[in-house]
A and B are shown apart, each in its own frame.
Chain A
Amino acid sequence: DTEVTQTPKHLVMGMTNKKSLKCEQHMGHRAMYWYKQKAKKPPELMFVYSYEKLSINESVPSRFSPECPNSSLLNLHLHALQPEDSALYLCASSQALLGPQHFGDGTRLSIL
């Protein structure tokens, strides 16, 4: 069992919907990450939070909005997504910014 929990596991939404992806870890890690992964490709970094502050935004479109309510939770708010945004969205955490990352099993997102 992974120590990083992501919900939901699967999400199908229309281009006009608003939804949120959730990520939770209780390992006391202070850095959390969102990645996007297409089939048979490596994860692409989207956002990094360190001590609940946004540290890195890899020029992600504004239709993706991250939020870190506390040190254990990380959300990704989705609005007006495009079909090309369909992918596996992975959350990860690490003890500190430079540390090895522990990944959740991801949310499989499909945009109709």
Chain B
Amino acid sequence: TQLLEQSPQFLSIQEGENLTVYCNSSSVFSSLQWYRQEPGEGPVLLVTVVTGGEVKKLKRLTFQFGDARKDSSLHITAAQPGDTGLYLCAGSSWAGKSTFGDGTTLTVKP
């Protein structure tokens, strides 16, 4: 079974601060996705990373895939209240399964 450890589990910060969420595994993934989920809605895909060492930017969000394709990070610069939500990483295996991390609940206070 492939496990993904996500940290921190909870994060409460003030508007304007920076933060990083980590997603770690001992397994290699073919690709890794980051999702954000708001209450009452399904997860929304933010990014997919495929190549080891890959860095992708989405406005104030920076995603990095580890060189060995076992870990990833999400960095948010100057967080805003609209960034509040549950952030989920998910690793895709070659068997077609997605393994989700336990999620990081982010609260950004105005």
Contacts and interface: CB of A to CB of B under 8 A. Distances in A.
A72 B42 CA distance: 18
Contacts, number: 59
Q: Name B's interface SS.
A: strand
Interface stretch (A11-19, A42-50, A76-84): A42-50
A56 B97 contact: yes
A56 B95 CA distance: 9
Contacts of A56: 96-97
Given A45-B98, A48-B96, A102 B103 contact: no
**4 cross-chain pairs, A with B, having the tightest CB-CB distances, nearest first:** A103-B42, A97-B96, A42-B100, A100-B48
Interface of B: 30-31, 33, 35, 40-45, 48, 86, 88, 90, 92, 94, 96-98, 100-103, 105
27 contacts: A2-B42, A6-B42, A31-B96, A40-B86, A40-B103, A40-B105, A41-B102, A42-B88, A42-B100, A42-B101, A42-B103, A43-B43, A45-B98, A48-B96, A48-B97, A50-B96, A56-B96, A90-B42, A92-B42, A98-B92, A100-B48, A100-B92, A101-B90, A101-B98, A103-B44, A105-B40, A105-B42
